[in-house]
Amino acid sequence: MKLIQTALVTLSVVCANLLSAAEIPVINPDHAVAVIAKKLAAYDAGQPAKAGYPTEAKGAKWVTVPAGDWVSGFYPGALWYTYEFAQRHHWPDQNAWLKRADAWTVGLTNQQFNTTNHDLGFMLMNSFGHAYRLTGEERYKAVVLQAAQSLTKRYRPEVGLIRSWGSIDDLKQYTVIIDNMMNLELLMWSSTHDGTTKDGTAQDLAKIATSHANRTQVEFFRPDSSTYHVVDFDPLTGAVKRKRTAQGKAADSCWSRGQTWAIYGYAYMAEATQDKKYLEQSIKAADYYLAHLPADHVPPSDFQSELTGLEFKDSSAAAIACCAFFRLSRLSDDPAVKNRFWQAAVETLSSLTQAPYFSDSPDKASALLYQARNYHADATHPLTNTSLIWGDYYLLEALLTYDAGKK
């Protein structure tokens, strides 16, 4: 963490020199984190049993899901980020944030044995992973390592990918989605923290993660570096059966959040492996994203959508992209590339922390507005023009990164 902060300080100085003062947008992390923190604390206060993980909301009240839903790690993760910020800025109530974060994290303990979905990275790294990073307590680490074991059960060498949807025993259908790139951190992290496969070695965890990243690179990207959302494979031969979408507009369109999972996932893999091919893939996907971005730095829920109004946007995709851009600006050795992604990150963060995207209204569950779970042509659909818990989670991540870099 210390190394990353030092690198960010250096980077921000380099980038500030490249950008003129007038070009640096206004971002106020203290205010934005305080607004999000107030909403997080209000939800916790209404949940004495610490059950019911927030997912989406049209108004002030979160729809909730049980532990085990793919989103269940984001609320604890947002509490850990708030605790980190509270520690860094010496908030007097920092221990209350630690207690909240721990209480919502331990509610996910049994998910370490879950083999029914691929989302263990989202669920366990955001909760137990941050818990271990910030406290160093071994009880948190043990859960992450077991979760990595569970995730390997969804990998078939015949396909070379971790199965996203369906049962591990299904020999007819083998579905993988681009989002799955985000779960590789669980394997890579475990491979360097005493994790092994049950009968194997730490390298086996890294081998599964790199195999997944390598085959995703071949099957999910189009020549213009946009992504397919879903690819179905034959589980016995590994052959591709079909490329399609479940949350975007069409099979051959580019679902914007899927694109940002790819940008972030490959930027993470580049950092974890130091393999330049992952960095290049992330940059190419990011360049597609930036080339199709409207002036306010927030994409529509699908890049091929003609619906350009605010109510059809997905600001959660912009928050994910923003985190990835900070990482790309740190990873590239090329000053022009560093500056391009630093600028993209700060412009996005500036847009996301102002109206109309940012709100402290008690009538809204999240601070980040205009998020879309799926592409929908009807803005009144419950899954579009809504609050999503991961939007505030990634916004916090971006704010903490920016805050560390500017100090």
Q: Which residues does the annotation mark as catalytic?
A: 119, 179
The DSSP result for 30-54, as a single string, is: HHHHHHHHHHHHHHHHT-TT---EE
Can residue 313 be called a binding residue for ligand GLY (CB under 6 A)? no
Q: Considering the complex, state which of residue 56 and residue 84 has its C-beta at the smaller distance from ligand GLY.
A: 56
Residue with tokens 């390298």: 203
Nearest distance in Å: CB 261, ligand GLY: 7
CA distance 166 to 183: 16
- Which residue of this chain has its Cβ atom nearest to ligand GLY in the complex? 179
Please state, in angstroms and as integers, the Cα–Cα distance from residue 258 to each residue in 144, 218, 221, 322, 366, following that order: 25, 16, 11, 14, 21
Q: Considering the complex, state which of residue 225 and residue 256 has its C-beta at the smaller distance from ligand GLY.
A: 256
CA distance 248 to 228: 9
Nearest distance in Å: CB 59, ligand GLY: 21
| Residue environment code for 88-108, b if the CB has 16+ CB neighbours within 10 A, otherwise e | eeebeebeebbebbbebbbbb
Nearest distance in Å: CB 373, ligand GLY: 6
Nearest distance in Å: CB 317, ligand GLY: 9
Q: Considering the complex, state which of residue 319 and residue 396 has its C-beta at the smaller distance from ligand GLY.
A: 319
Rounded to 10°, the helix 74-88/29-45 angle is 130
Give the x-and-dash track for 342-381 against ligand GLY (CB under 6 A). Answer: -------------------------------x--------
Tokens of 267: 């930027």
Q: Considering the complex, state which of residue 257 and residue 327 has its C-beta at the smaller distance from ligand GLY.
A: 257
Are 130 and 77 in contact, with CB atoms under 8 Å apart?
yes
Q: Which 153-182 residues touch ligand GLY, going by CB under 6 A?
A: 179
Q: Considering the complex, state which of residue 123 and residue 345 has its C-beta at the smaller distance from ligand GLY.
A: 123
Nearest distance in Å: CB 121, ligand GLY: 11
What kind and span of H or E run contains 350?
helix 335-352
Can residue 185 be called a binding residue for ligand GLY (CB under 6 A)? no
Tokens of 300: 């529509």
CA distance 403 to 406: 5
Q: Which 41-80 residues touch ligand GLY, going by CB under 6 A?
A: 70
Can residue 257 be called a binding residue for ligand GLY (CB under 6 A)? yes
# chain residues binding ligand GLY, by CB under 6 A: 5
Residues forming contacts to ligand GLY in the complex (CB under 6 A) are 70, 179, 247, 257, 373
